[in-house]
Amino acid sequence: MADSDPHIAQLRRYLYLGDETKPFPSSVSYPFNPEKIKFIEELETRETDKEAIREILRMYREGHYLELEPIIYALAVYAHSKHSFMKDAALNVANEICSSAASMLTFACFYKELSWPSTGYGRALRRFLTQWYNKKEAKDLAIEVTKVKSRHKWTHKDILCMAHVKSENTANAAVLKYAVKGFRVAEKECGSQAEAESVLSYLKGIYELTHTDNPEVAARLIEIHDLCLEHVPSKILKSKEVALCLIPRVPLKCLLELLPRFSKLGLLKLNSQHYKAVLERLSSEESLNDGSLDPLETFLVLRKWQIANRILPGKPMVRQNTPALDDALQKLHLVSFKTIIPKEKRYLIALDIRLTMNHIHCVGCSALTPSHVSDIILMA
């Protein structure tokens, strides 16, 4: 059975941690060591090859992974299988997992890397990429293409040219033309077609946003076209008008990550417009019932907020008195414990109570100490 198969257990460990050999790997991101993941290819020679694909899909759907890249890499390995049924199964799963532009570009990069020294794309991958660009609605495709322009040095232009992606849909073809040759060419060649008018208007808004230095114009473009944070150039992200426009629009997680930056820019002074907008957003029922943040994530936000506003020795006092905002973040943290699904099991938790737990920092996250994480585990 797959549940007792040691090779499937090894695969689970790799998919979750990005490394099946170390108990606490320092990173779960690409590049991976090819010598340590040969077991993925070896699963093909056993009767557990189909189980491996099902396990990848199960872990993705249940969210049992730290980063998506190990899952995508495993799929890219199986997409190179000599067995046609394994290749088809891997690409079918990739259709679900690689739905975003970031994951699709990552998959294409890994697939190409594993294809070395051969050049070009195979028929199966070209079909997968063509379906990815054609199955989306034109507006959704435009959002994906403009939000994430590249991953691992691979751009949409690279993918479209190498895979020879074409679209019979006029609006989608306009987006592909934009990705390859830019807005001016897309507008010139597709502007006279009524089907592409709406999506070209959206792309024009993004084009104007990236070329304007006027914060008021940028804020108006964001409101008119309902643009997202990824569309905003960093040069105008610091402006008060753009920040105020983004506060009610960005996802809650992005807003929480932006709070230290807004505080550093002096935008969250007591009773300022930005302060009131953030407080209203965090206190809303929608945010409290969001359910996308777990207790560790909300506590990390709380810690970063505290660190960003602390009084440093020998420095002028810069902390703003924002008790209402502090309370809103604390309430958001407490509410996040509702996202934990009870397992109806009893656990024995052993804690290290040495002083070093309070003085050292977690790997990859200097804002937290091991004692902080231990507290979250106990409270959960």
Q: Where are the alpha helices (DSSP H) in 18-122?
A: 38-42, 49-62, 69-78, 84-97, 101-115
Residue 312: enclosing H or E segment and its boundaries?
Answer: none
Mean pLDDT value of segment 24-38: 59
User: Chain-wide mean pLDDT for the chain?
Assistant: 85
Query: Which amino acid is residue 186, in one-letter code?
Result: A
Q: pLDDT at residue 1 above 50?
A: no
Confidence category of residue 20, pLDDT binned at 50, 70, 90: low
Model pLDDT, residue 27: 56
Main-chain phi, psi angles of 154, to 5 degrees? -105, 130
Least confident of 14-18, 185-189, 225-229, 292-296: 14-18
Instruction: Give the global pTM.
Output: 0.84
- What's the burial of 168, exposed, middle or buried (CB within 10 Å: 0-12/13-18/19+)? exposed
Q: pLDDT at residue 43 above 80?
A: no
Model pLDDT, residue 255: 92
Model pLDDT, residue 202: 95
Cα–Cα distance, 260 to 237 (Å, whole number): 14
Q: pLDDT at residue 57 above 90?
A: yes
Cα–Cα distance, 209 to 147 (Å, whole number): 13
Q: pLDDT at residue 298 above 60?
A: yes
Segment 77-114, tens digit of pLDDT:
888 888 788 888 999 999 999 999 999 999 999 888 88
Q: Parallel, antiparallel, or unpaired for β 154-155 and 150-151? A: antiparallel
Cα–Cα distance, 376 to 299 (Å, whole number): 8
Segment 262-288, tens digit of pLDDT:
888 888 888 889 999 999 999 998 888
Model pLDDT, residue 3: 57
Cα–Cα distance, 328 to 324 (Å, whole number): 6
Segment 338-350, tens digit of pLDDT:
888 887 888 888 8
Segment 107-163, tens digit of pLDDT:
999 888 887 777 667 888 899 999 999 999 999 999 999 999 999 889 999 999 989
Segment 195-214, tens digit of pLDDT:
999 999 999 999 999 999 99
Model pLDDT, residue 200: 95
Give per-residue burial for 324-345: e unless 16+ CB within 10 Å, then b. bbeebbeebbebbeeeeeeeee
Least confident of 30-34, 64-68, 148-152, 261-265: 30-34
Mean pLDDT value of segment 240-259: 92
What CA dihedral angle connects 89, 137, 109 and 154, to 10 degrees? 180
DSSP 192: T
Give per-residue burial for 125-162: e unless 16+ CB within 10 Å, then b. beebbbebbbebebeebbbbbbbbeebeebbbebbbeb
Q: Percent of the chain beyond pLDDT 90?
A: 41
Bond into 117 cis (ω within 30): yes
Model pLDDT, residue 22: 56
Q: pLDDT at residue 317 above 50?
A: no
